[in-house]
Amino acid sequence: MQLTKTEEELMNHLWKLEKAFMKDLLEAYPEPKPATTTVATLLKRMTDKKFISYELFGNSREYFPLVKKKDYFSKHVNSLIKTFFNDSASQFASFFTKETDLTKEELEDLRNIIDKELKNK
């Protein structure tokens, strides 16, 4: 299951806050803030999709993520690699390093990450 762009935006606020009431989530948005009813609808859909849950405190709900940000984006990157790069991580890496505006320092950081992973294998 996947989140829509607006659900992802809300989920990013929730990942950052870790736990939040509706008012906390609304405050996390920049101006112009979405309507309370819009956020309530998104929260309901995300609860139905099992991305979030909540704990009741009287009439208030404190929401929290059920899916970790790393797991969510890892799944999407792997799907992207499978769909657009013939399930080849090296094709993805080649595209990523050539077609993005990475600085020399960022490329060196990537090399260090790869070297570290190679030592661990």
Could you report the per-residue pLDDT of 9-68, keeping only the tens digit for each? 999 999 999 999 999 999 999 999 999 999 999 999 999 999 999 999 999 999 999 999
Question: In this structure, are 12 and 39 located in the same domain?
Answer: yes
The last residue of one of the domains, among 65, 85, 102, is 65
pTM score of the predicted model: 0.76
Last residue of a domain, one of 65, 83, 112: 65
Same domain as 78, residue 35: no
Q: Is the pLDDT of residue 109 over 80?
A: yes
**pLDDT tens, residue by residue, 53-107:** 999 999 999 999 999 999 999 888 888 888 888 888 888 888 888 888 889 999 8
Query: What pLDDT, on a 0 to 100 scale, did the predictor assign at position 15?
Result: 97
**105 and 85: one domain?**
yes
Residue with tokens 């859909």: 45
For residues 44 and 87, state if they share a domain.
Answer: no
Residue 83: domain span: 69-120
Whether residues 58 and 75 fall in one domain: no
C-alpha to C-alpha distance for 40 and 90, rounded to whole angstroms = 42
Spatial distance between the Cα atoms of 117 and 44, rounded to a whole number of angstroms: 40
The number of domains in the chain is 2
Q: Same domain, yes or no, for 9 and 50?
A: yes
Largest CA distance in the chain: 54
Residues 41 and 76 in one domain: no
Question: Would you tell me how many other CB atoms lie within 10 Å of the CB of residue 38?
Answer: 13
Whether 79 and 54 map to the same domain: the answer is no
- What's the CA gap between 52 and 63, in Å, rounded? 7
Q: What is residue 17's predicted lDDT score, i.e. its pLDDT?
A: 97
Q: Do 26 and 54 fall within a single domain?
A: yes
Question: Given 65, 88, 107, which residue is the final one in a domain?
Answer: 65
Considering the domain architecture, whether residues 80 and 34 belong to the same structural domain is answered as no
Residues 6+ apart with CB under 8 A from 50: 1, 66, 67
Cα–Cα–Cα angle for 12, 16, 17, rounded to 5 degrees: 115
Q: What are 63's strand-pairing partners?
A: 20, 54
